[in-house]
Amino acid sequence: DGSRWVDTWRHRTNIESTEDELAAWLKSMFEIAGHPFSVDSVVCASVVPGIDRTLKLLTQNYFHTELKFLTGGSDHGVQVDYEPKSSVGADRIANALGALAIQNGPIIVVDFGTATTFDVIDANNVYTGGAILAGPLTSLSALVKNTAKLPAIDLKAPASAIGKNTSHSIASGVMFGYAGAINELIRRITDELGSKPKVIATGGLGEIFTELCDGIDAYNPMLTLEGLRIFATQK
């Protein structure tokens, strides 16, 4: 409603979806939640350019307003030290906005998605870059796809690092190995910052890795969306 999140829903991204199909799904979700199918503004942090036009048409045809895109080059209020500024992902700027609403820098945001991103905000509240690596699911998928005899597994931490069967061994390598990579990147970034940052995890697998990674201080599943909400309220 402008000042807080009233509801959130998830929908799989499909670039072949039409604006009418998305509107039908959205309308049903509004009705289930008991909300009128009407909004004053719509903002988007898109990392899938193929669906941008569909989202514009959805906004124009069903909400009768213009879609506002958050990009690295938007007037979003975050000072960016990255080249070129426009190449910073919209989700990463949203993370910075959300984090800076909680506290001043230095901050590291670790966002666990298809890719895992590290967004670094220095002591002067400048977005100063970060790191990107393949997400846990992406890593596991590549391992299973390219190694014929290895089975797919659920992403959860095993009881021990020494695997007693193939599935256990994969779980150990993926989960503990990935947690080690996260901790090492946090350590190196902290050394370069020169002062201890607050480390916030977000994203779908963030809660699992917050428990596995000593370097992560807190998990905030709404951080990216909160950054988008802040952007939506800016004039």
Is 91 part of the annotated catalytic residue set? yes
Matching residue, tokens 């903002």: 43
Letter for the amino acid at 156? Answer: K
Tokens encoding 113: 């998605």
DSSP of 134-176 = E-HHHHHHHHHHHSTTPPP--S---S-SS-SSHHHHHHIIIII
Q: Is there a contact between 111 and 95 (Cβ–Cβ < 8 Å)?
A: yes
Q: How far apart are CA 69 and CA 228, in angstroms?
A: 10
Tokens encoding 107: 């901050």
Q: Which one of 52, 91, 214, 217 is the catalytic residue?
A: 91
Dihedral angle sign, alpha carbons of residues 224, 39, 16, 9: positive
- What residues are paired with 127 via a beta bridge? 80, 121
Q: What are phi and psi of 126, to 5 degrees?
A: -95, 130
Indicate which residues carry an active-site annotation. 91
